[in-house]
A and B are shown apart, each in its own frame.
Chain A
Amino acid sequence: MRQSPFLSVATITTVAVALTLMAIFGAFVGNLQEMARRWSRDVQVVIYLDQPPGQKTLRTWLDHIERQPEVERVTFVSQPEAFNRFRQRLGDDADLLAGMTPDILPASLEIRLQEDFRNRQGVATLANTLRSNPAFADMRHGQDWLERFESVIRLLRASSVVLGGVLLFASLFVVANTIRLTLYARRDEIEVMALVGATPFFIRVPFVLEGIMQGVIGGGVALTSSYLLYRAALSQDMAVWLRATGLEQLLFLSPSAQVLIVVGGGALGLAGSLIAVFRLGRA
């Protein structure tokens, strides 16, 4: 059925705007999550040692720690190693260390946790076990702020669901009313079809199909425009900022989320036209 181009464009635009906003927000939250994932991978428990241990003691400690179920790997960092690392990190300012000896920095044991234990619970369990050794008194980990960061992400995700719901509802409302305008513009034709014996189903199906098609096109437009925005963001010189956050690459939506955008557009068109067509039935 031939529809007014203006109304088709209105439907497509509504769907496209709503879904573009959702895509941008989704990509934003997705990137934060990736950031958190990378940071949590780096979470380590570090034990600073007052006295560098002898070979034999060290061997026992390493064996003991490695046997813990939470532990993926444990590395001993000797005083000279710590000193070297520090000097490297200072870079051009390394001459500040002139005249100092490696023994200003403590030796340490760096423990990397198994993925499943990279959380408050895992760290606490491990800390409890290891604390029985008085040499391990000075134990540090970056768990608390990570948990806080993750709860911020959870909050963001929850608000994106709410925001998405509101957006979807608003665009559904607009789409349904636009399609209702289309139906209204064609009411004479609809009446004639009915008078000649067309069933309500036969009359409505084209409008619903048209709605689905416009929704899918809107979803495609949303996907394209959010991808272009993503490319634009990449081309800005964001490399420095990204490395600072631990991300090597700004991520776009996952393939399944991309499909979801287009399918969601179709679903919006379907729901909107069904609502419009259902109201026609009652009028």
Chain B
Amino acid sequence: MIQVFNLSKSYARDSAAITDITFKIAKGDFVYLTGPSGAGKSTLLKLLYCAEQPSRGQMLINGLNLTRISPGRIARFRRVLGVVFQDFKLLNSRSVYENVAFPLEIQGRRSVEIRQKVYQTLKVVGLEHRLNRLPLELSGGEQQRVAIARALVVDPLVLLADEPTGNLDPEKSEQIIELFRGANARGSTVLLATHDREIIRRHPRRVLTLEGGRLVDDRSP
């Protein structure tokens, strides 16, 4: 499902955020991406959802070559992705409901279906009582769950999550991981960046470890 070959990315000329990374993730897999702060986890994910362009190397998702994708097709490609951003990236002028409904509206789904889907997903993340709030009226953890709901609501082919439990207590973190496991069980391929060792210990899966922009470990339980 995800194939990465000799991928490199440097923001500035002399410092590389990602250096020569190669790996494959099969359809339906659940993979952790870990490593110390500044290792390049977010950068790798940004490359995968086409927010940054690689300096070198190739990436394919679902057979689509992302290194040669035209700007017009990026939008279409992103619709099969669910992305949980490290800084949430919610639409702050829109309500919780509208934020979660947005990806479905883009896809042109029928409004009955949108309403059902949004309620269902918000219930899953435990925010069904916050529908009409604006994101900035929510706690950090609640905002994070809105971001997760928005990623899950489209039943994504690939789910990319950047520190989705960063602001949550262990109990909530556990619930969130259950959400991702559920999405994975329904067919989404999951790549989850985290430096929460506890989560990985409790739900052991394949782990990719980055350090200084290099892939230093690729281990399956």
Interface residues of A (CB under 8 A from B): 2, 188-189, 191-200, 202
In the complex, the answer to whether B106 meets A196 with C-beta atoms within 8 Å is yes
Shortest 5 CB-CB distances between A and B: which pairs? A197-B78, A197-B79, A199-B75, A192-B89, A198-B106
Q: Which of the listed residues B78, B85, B150 has the most CB atoms from chain A within 10 Å of its own CB? A: B78
Q: Is the CB of A2 within 8 A of B103?
A: no
Interface contact A200-B91, CB-CB below 8 Å:
no
User: Residue of A at shortest CB range from B89?
Assistant: A192
Contact of B76 among A191, A193, A195, A197 (CB under 8 A): A197
**Which B residues are in CB contact (< 8 Å) with A195?**
49, 51, 78, 83, 85, 89
Give Cα distance in the complex from A198 to B108, angstroms: 11
Return B77 CB to nearest CB of chain A, in Å. 8
Q: Is the CB of B102 within 8 A of A193?
A: yes
Is A197 a contact partner of B106 (Cβ separation < 8 A)?
A: yes
The distance in angstroms between the C-alpha atoms of A2 and B92, with both chains bound, is 12
Q: How far is the CA of A273 from the CA of B89 in the complex (A)?
A: 26
Q: Is the CB of A192 within 8 A of B91?
A: yes
B47-62 to A contact mask, C-beta < 8 Å, 1/0? 0010100000000000
Contact A189 B79 (CB under 8 A): no
Q: List 23 A-B contacts (CB under 8 A).
A: A2-B93, A192-B89, A192-B90, A193-B91, A193-B102, A194-B75, A195-B78, A195-B83, A195-B85, A195-B89, A196-B78, A196-B103, A197-B76, A197-B77, A197-B79, A197-B81, A197-B106, A197-B107, A198-B106, A199-B76, A200-B71, A200-B75, A202-B106
- Encode contact with A along B101-118: 1 for CB under 8 Å, 0 otherwise: 011001100000000000
Instruction: Give A246 to B160 CA distance when docked, in angstroms.
Output: 80
Alpha-carbon distance between A227 and B89 when the two chains are bound, in angstroms? 49
B-chain residues with CB within 8 Å of residue A192 when the two chains form the complex: 89-91
Q: Within 8 Å CB of B77, what residues of A? A: 197
What's the nearest-Cβ distance from chain B to residue A191, in Å? Answer: 8
How many chain-B residues does the 8 Å CB contact rule pick out? Answer: 22
Main secondary structure of the interface of B (DSSP, over half): mixed
CA A183 – CA B12 in complex, angstroms?
28
Residues of B within 8 A of A196 (CB): 78, 83, 102-103, 106, 150
| Alpha-carbon distance between A196 and B76 when the two chains are bound, in angstroms | 10
The interface centre, meaning the residue of A189, A195, A198, A200 with most chain B CB atoms within 10 A of its CB, is A195
A188, B81: Cα distance in complex, Å? 20
A198 to B94, alpha carbons, bound, how many Å?
16
| A194 contacts across to B, CB distance below 8 A | 75, 78
Residues of B within 8 A of A202 (CB): 75, 106
Give the residue name and chain of the B residue nearest to A189 (CB).
B91
Least CB distance, B107 to chain A, in whole angstroms: 8
B199 to chain A, nearest CB (A): 25
The CA of A197 and the CA of B81, in the complex, are separated in Å by 9
With both chains docked as a complex, state the minimum distance between the C-beta of B119 and any C-beta of chain A, in angstroms. Answer: 19
**Roughly how many angstroms separate A199 CA and B105 CA in the complex, as a whole number?**
12
Closest chain B CB from A283 CB (angstroms): 13
Bound form: Cα–Cα A194–B75 in Å: 7
Q: In the complex, A2→B102 CA distance in Å? A: 15
Instruction: Output the least CB separation between A248 and chain B (Å).
Output: 56
CB-based nearest A residue for B103: A196
Neighbour of A189 across the interface among B51, B72, B92, B103, CB < 8 A: B92
Which A residues are in CB contact (< 8 Å) with B78? 194-197
CB distance from A142 to the nearest CB of B (A): 68
Measured in the bound complex, the distance between the Cα atoms of B84 and A196 in whole Å is 10
Enumerate chain B residues within 8 angstroms of A200, measured Cβ to Cβ.
71-72, 75
- Chain A: minimal CB distance from B49 (Å): 7
* A67, B137: Cα distance in complex, Å: 91
A84 to chain B, nearest CB (A): 82
Closest to A199 in B: B75
- Whole-angstrom distance between the alpha carbons of A195 and B79 in the complex? 9
Q: Which chain A residues border B92 with CB–CB below 8 Å?
A: 188-189
State A2–B95 Cα separation when bound (angstroms): 13
Q: Are B75 and A198 in contact (CB under 8 A)?
A: yes
CB-based nearest A residue for B78 = A197
Q: How far is the CB of B144 from chain A (nearest CB, A)?
A: 15
Give the CA-CA distance A188 to B93 in the complex, in Å.
Answer: 11
Minimum CB–CB distance for A58 against chain B, Å:
87
